[in-house]
Chains A and B, each alone.
Chain A
Amino acid sequence: MNPPLFSPPLLRLAGRVLRHSPWQSALMVLGILLGVAVVVAVDLANQSASRAFDLSAESVAGKATHTLVGGPTGLDEAAYTELRRAGLPYPAAPLVSAYVTVPELGGLPLQLLGIDPFSEAPFRNYLAAEGELPLADLARFLTQPGALLLAESLAQRYGLVLGDPLTILVNGQSQPAFVAGLLTPSDDASRRALEGLLLADIATAQELTGTLGRLNQIDLILPDAAAADALAARLPTGLTLLPAAARSGAVEQMTAAFRTNLTALSLLALVVGVFLIYNSMTFSVVRRRPLFGTLRCLGVTRAEVFALVVGEAFLVGTLGGTLGVLAGLVLGQAALGVVTQTINDLFFVVTVRDVAVPWASLLKGGLLGMGATVLAAAFPAWEAANVPPRQALNRAGLESRAARLVNWAALGGVGMLLLGALVLALPSRSLVLAFSGTFGVVIGCALLTPLATRALMRLAATLGGPVIGVLGRLAPREVVNSLSRTGIAVAALMVAVSVSIGVNLMVGSFRYTVEVWLEQILQGDIYVSVPGASLSQTSAPLDPEIVQTLRTWPGVEQAVFLRSVEVDSPYGPIQLAANDNPQDGDEQIYYSASGTPTEVWQAVQNGAVLVSEPLARRLGLPEQGGTLTLYTDHGPVEFPIAGIYYDYGSSVGVVSLGLETYRQHWADDALTAAALTLQPGEDVEAVTRALQTALAPQQAVIIRPNQALRADTLTIFDRTFAITGALQLLATGVAFVGVLSAMLSLLLEKQRQLGILRAVGLSVRQMWVLTLLETGLMGAAAGLLAMPTGFVLALILVYVINRRSFGWTLQLQFSAEPFVQAFAIAVLAALLAGLIPARRMARRNISEGMRFD
């Protein structure tokens, strides 16, 4: 006879148990809900940003297989004419592209694409089938200056109609334009792609961006590699043929670490959630041991008891998972803004207007929640299945078994710690390994928690007795006597709080490192730059007249100029920073160098380059004697690397070189930014104001004193970590819910005992004291134990995770604040969690309390 695992009465029993303890059930659902919501939200934001990037890359690349690029200033449009004239047998299309902002379109960065409508058809189909642009609009588009096409949905959102004027802000200049036509894409993907685009005729785009006669690229559709090789062989110097995917692939790779980090943090919330579900399920099983004993007497098999508990978890997981997915959709909208902002700040411009809803993402989140819940319930279910019939093992037996288990758990904890440390020490750049090692260390510390709690409580009883009297002895003893449950609750809270310490210390250290670094590298008094569509796009050139004005401005002792620009390389696009600062060699802090700072700088003057630490790590460059190949106007050139320097301005990485060297290899005399050092006694504020007034009519430039630039940099820094903070807060929220649920179960179970205490004369006030003392002690134990765990976590985050994700070496900055804060959170959460059950018991009459069993 083989009875089904889920027989109707057992399923009914599972449902009834959940309904019978609505508070505990609701808290379990809430724990899973929060965990799943965070995972789904981060996944949605990541996917939406990534999809937006793909779409924008796709919308620019179209069906091109290859791209012909020039130097940092693009290529001469004559190159296109020559290609045509030479009888190139493949489709080719010139392209001008730039990031612009349009106040009438919400001021968000948009990509302006200048195209030649007559060669576009094989590449991009905005103007063909999908566009269905009326002929009159097309004529306007080709003939009138400032004529732009945009998606109808985008125009509608901002209440724009045909003919409405637009202001294009690009490279600090403002240009008039107007809506010449509206595109109505037939499918959703094209609509999303078009949402971030402005289309112009190539000549219009050149006028608007001030790049007359220049192209950004020429797109090509080549049939095979042989054709590509043949074309590459006959290209004039300065033109490089790249596969179309090379550029987008490299950029995608740069943000991968950032997105992995966010995913790991969101998973951390779920892990804390799982830990707490495990906690709740264990409580609910331990509390019902007599019931399982009775069921076993009635002939319910072990497998059926196991299925019963897992079934309960399944119900909770399904409900929590479903609600979590819904909450994740809402949270995703909020997270998207922050993620997009960070990507714009740190990596590249991406325009995301709405959350794409990939069903796979939602399903994954929901199933993850459900799976995690069932997994978390597996051990308690196994424990329930092994309850001997007729409750042969009484509570005292359970606790003595728990006391023995505590030692084994501690031993296991040491093992997990060692294993985690071993995984972290493996010479690898894998983030998955790094996070696995981190989880190993955290779980190891959690397993050590019950043993440490027992020691702490014994100490508390010794110290508390003489001060508080009998309650001071009773409360810690109660914690030890119920270690099978209290141990888990303390461990759960400890993990959540230690994460908060670790992340806080890491962010604090990061901020401190950046501050020290800024102090070192920002030696000028005033900084001048051109506003770009984003901070990552800083290649907009300064007006040559402004450069001249700055050089000769009264009171300026030294004007140092920087050309910041993106060039192509075999590794994808690379950011160059070329400057003529004679002190630059001394102002950098070197991670590794081929000599003294003076020698390094000498090498740089002679044509070597400096590489920032993140780039060196990303490309796996050797610490000494490496070289770096860049595509120059004269073809690929291998530059010797004179040193690797610390740089926290870009996680993508920068190559620093002398301005002279740059100009030797690239025909570009534009300058991007200036740092002015004033003569002694000059008033920085006054010179800044005077410059602002004088330069405003020529070009919109940002003129900031050193302090302001430093503050702005730190603002971006804080914005980058805003989402980390939010995720960490959510993880603490999940932990709080878990602790509340644990305390509730624990104290409900103790009602009978408290009833007896009340019967022998414990006053209501004393009962409050006892309950809150007990929960407070548990919170304090969690807070204390979280300190070393949090510190270890911070070490891992600073020295392993950050280095592997972004390539940054940070200086660990120890500060007491995160520890004090975490301790306060732990005690407060535990005390708050104790309030509800204490209140409930105070209201219950003694006989009722005693009867409860």
Chain B
Amino acid sequence: MTETQQTIRLENVSKTYTEGERQRTVLADASAAFAPGEFTAILGKSGSGKSTLLNLISGIDAADAGAVWFGGQDLLALNERQRTLFRRQHIGFVFQFFNLLPTLTVLENVTLPLELTGAPLKTARAQALPLLEAVGLADRAATFPERLSGGEQQRVAIARALAHNPRLVLADEPTGNLDSATGESILTLLERLTRQNGKNLIMVTHSQASAARADRIYRLENGQLLPQPK
């Protein structure tokens, strides 16, 4: 696969929401490229459209105009179902509020994306356990999420995001709900694991310090993605 085929690119992406009577433009002709294995941070104030951007990259939402290229595939050319299946295959998510499934054990939460892609349970477990090992929670595999602390829950979420070997990991304020020390360790873990596995990592944050770890930083301002020097 060539580098172009693996690159994720936004081309003149626009997105406008209707709020009551008025229109709110979140993205206006925004463009950016994310090279394979690169860690990109997107900075922006609350309400600047950071989450919308992640929704467009992951195919959760569709842009009004422009293109979202995943290698040779334009996500906007796919229908909703195709985008969902694409997401299932190629994208991992880490949320601010962890969003683990409370009725599944830690191990089951991690095996879930694998099983959804059709992997047998045995294979899924074999792949999930080393990841739990890597996030330091192998001994809590049979525990339910409500028994874990916030930091531990986010570590499980990271393991889950990487379990099905996606090309891209999207992190939405992954440390926003954690104390600074825990946040720091989570970020280190996320960075280490994505880099180790050669994944793209796109993280939205409003913390300058967190963004400083990235290879490249964009600032989202007035609907534009502006490259920002480190």
Contacts and interface: CB of A to CB of B under 8 A. Distances in A.
B80 A7 contact: no
A17 B144 CA distance: 13
Contact of A296 (B84, B89, B102, B113): B84
B85 A297 contact: no
Chain B: number of interface residues, binned into ranges: 20 to 34
Given A8-B121, A9-B116, A300 B84 contact: yes
B101 A291 contact: yes
B203 to A, nearest CB: 16
Contacts, number: 78
A265 to B, nearest CB: 39
Interface string A6-23: 011110110011011000
A3 interface: yes
A233 interface: no
A7 B115 contact: yes
Contacts of B80: 302
A389 interface: yes
A8 B60 CA distance: 24
Looking at B81, B88, B89, which has the most chain A CB atoms within 10 Å of its CB? B88
A389 B118 CA distance: 21
Contacts of B111: 9
Interface in A277-306: 290-291, 293-303
B193 to A, nearest CB: 18
Task: Give the interface SS of chain A, mostly helix, strand, loop or mixed.
Answer: helix
A9 B112 contact: yes
A8 B115 contact: yes
A750 interface: no
Interface in B76-127: 80-81, 84-89, 91, 93, 95, 99, 101-104, 108, 111-113, 115-118, 121
Interface in A757-793: none
A390 interface: yes
Contacts of B113: 298-299
Contacts of B81: 301-303
A784 B22 CA distance: 42
A390 B101 contact: no
Q: Is the interface of B mostly helix, strand, loop or mixed?
A: helix
B166 to A, nearest CB: 10
A1 interface: yes
B55 interface: yes
Q: Which of B91, B108, B112, B118 has the most CB of A within 10 A?
A: B112
B88 A298 contact: yes
Interface string B152-166: 000000001000000
A297 B58 contact: yes
Nearest to A21: B103
Interface residues of A, number: 29
B87 A299 contact: yes
B161 to A, nearest CB: 9
Contact of B89 (A13, A20, A299, A301): A299
Interface in B31-62: 51, 55, 58, 60-61
B115 A20 contact: no
B84 A13 contact: no
A298 B112 contact: yes
Contacts of B115: 7-9
Contacts of A291: 101-102
Given A294-B99, A300-B116, A389 B88 contact: no
Contacts of A1: 85
Nearest to A298: B113
B84 A294 contact: no
Given A9-B112, A294-B99, A298-B112, A390 B85 contact: no
Given A1-B85, A20-B102, A302-B84, A297 B60 contact: yes
A98 B51 CA distance: 86
Contacts of B51: 390
Contacts of A294: 95, 99, 101
Interface string A311-338: 0000000000000000000000000000
B71 to A, nearest CB: 17
Interface of B: 51, 55, 58, 60-61, 80-81, 84-89, 91, 93, 95, 99, 101-104, 108, 111-113, 115-118, 121, 160
Interface of A: 1, 3, 7-10, 12-13, 16-17, 19-20, 290-291, 293-303, 388-390, 392
29 contacts: A3-B116, A7-B116, A8-B115, A9-B108, A9-B112, A9-B116, A10-B116, A12-B104, A20-B102, A293-B99, A294-B95, A294-B101, A296-B84, A297-B60, A297-B99, A298-B88, A298-B93, A298-B113, A298-B116, A299-B85, A299-B86, A299-B87, A299-B88, A299-B116, A301-B81, A388-B60, A390-B60, A392-B55, A392-B61
